[in-house]
Amino acid sequence: MSHADTASDRLVSLRRDLHRHPEPAWREFRTTSRIVDELEAIGVDELLVGSEFIDPATRMGVPEKAEIDRWYEAAREAGAREDVLDRTGGVTGALAVVRSGDGPTIGLRVDIDGLPRSESEAADHVPAAEGFRSETGAMHACGHDAHVTFGIGVVESIVNGEEFDGTLKVVFQPAEEVIGGGKAVAESGWFDDCDHLLAAHIGLDHPTGEVVAGIDGFLAVHHFEATFTGEPAHAGGQPNEGANAVQALAAAVENLYAIPRHEDGPTRVNAGVVEGGSAPNIIPEEAHLEGEVRGKTTELKEYMRDRATSVIESAAEMHGCGVEIDAVGDAPSARSDDAVVDVVERVANRTSGVETVPRRDDLGGSEDATYIMQRVQDNGGTAAYVGIGTDHPGGHHTSTFDVDEPSLGIGVDVLTDSVRRLAEDGGNGESDTE
């Protein structure tokens, strides 16, 4: 009997509960408490939360303390356990370790944060129709509620299933949506001894019953914020005495999009948030820009980052303004290793409910799981990013996104059996062939 058959109702219930209580990056306190509840009920050898395994100084994309405090209190009011909240040290996320024998160490990374957007109230939107629409004002519009469910399901299947020889480490990573948590997890050192790593994502325009054994084509990404400071003046009476921060901002935005593209591969740039000024008759003294650059490789991302920095600083100087540029998110490119892709492909081909297994696919976007993948690979291990298809109405990050719940069991089956196979022979043996 598959893990999906034995755990289906419980997995669906867990995912719906998580969907009803989404929390944005670095604010996932209620989510962390819920994860701890599940892992304690299963029984793991080691369970760490928040600052017990993540150094707060390594985080990126961290909101203001007042914002974190607001969500911390909201989590308490929503039933988050006081002891878990205390243990977090104000940092979200969890790490579960299962030790069973002297076999290799296998890692699994799943992300846990929602998006700061509202969810559809339409009658044909399943969460609204069946009573598990978000209650927080945020939304699980990218399937991270399903990812948490995968992680819990895999731990439960390994602990309670057939004998497992090795160590399993599952990280429930915060702050993927701001590209802010992957680096912190990688630098924790907890995955330095991993022989093999799996990371997973649901959907990605693949239908239920389809599994992508290895995803490549990650665009390396860099998120930045730039604050321009000028001199205020009366726009009618003394315009010559001002230094217009919005004018500097406008020049920066125009010239960011004029950065020459590179012969070595695709590059991207976007000015996503542009704001400034206080009144129509005041020369603006401050303006703010939030943007990103991407590249097919880490080197191309760095090329775009350097050119963007030069553009922004030149625009400020041109208009007599100062500028401060802060990095708020960053992730390298990565590639799935053939040895792990082989294992996932063979496992998926014999999994109930799986109809098609594309061997590889290009993501065409960015993901900070790449930090952990690269860390494992740099230490001599192998890694792969796995896609679990789901029929999802609406695209990722839209108000109507939802998960087709039969895909939950498929994901648990594929990931659990891949963990077991990697622990047995790392994909080098033939014991898994029919």
What pLDDT was estimated at residue 6?
A: 45
On whether the CB atoms of residues 153 and 40 are closer than 8 A, the answer is no
What pLDDT was estimated at residue 238?
A: 95
Q: What amino acid occupies position 401?
A: F
What pLDDT was estimated at residue 426?
A: 65
pTM here is 0.92
What pLDDT was estimated at residue 361?
A: 85
First to last CA, the chain: 17
Farthest CA pair distance, the chain: 84
What pLDDT was estimated at residue 5?
A: 53
Q: Which domains does the chain have, with CATH numbers?
A: 3-218+334-425 (3.40.630.10), 220-331 (3.30.70.360)
Of the candidates 270, 274, 256, 269, the one whose C-alpha atom is nearest the C-alpha of residue 314 is 256
The residues pairing with 270 across neighbouring beta strands, listed in sequence order, are: 292
Phi, psi for 239 (deg, rounded to 5) = -65, -25
Other C-beta atoms lying within 10 Å of the C-beta of residue 412: 27
Read off the DSSP letter of residue 238.
-
On whether the CB atoms of residues 180 and 59 are closer than 8 A, the answer is yes
On whether the CB atoms of residues 147 and 84 are closer than 8 A, the answer is no
Per-position DSSP letters for 184-204, written without gaps between them: HHHHTSTTTT-SEEEEEEE-T
| Tens digits of pLDDT across the chain (434 residues) | 454 454 478 899 999 999 999 999 999 999 999 999 999 999 999 999 999 999 999 999 999 999 999 999 999 999 999 999 999 999 999 999 999 999 999 999 999 999 999 999 999 999 999 999 999 999 999 999 999 999 999 999 999 988 899 999 999 999 999 999 999 999 999 999 999 999 999 999 999 999 999 999 899 999 999 999 999 999 999 999 999 999 999 999 999 999 999 999 999 999 999 999 999 999 999 999 999 999 999 999 999 999 999 999 999 999 999 999 999 999 999 999 999 999 999 999 999 999 999 998 888 889 999 999 999 999 999 999 999 999 999 899 999 999 999 999 999 999 999 999 999 986 564 544 44
Taking the C-alpha atoms of residue 94 and residue 75, their distance in angstroms, rounded to an integer, is 16
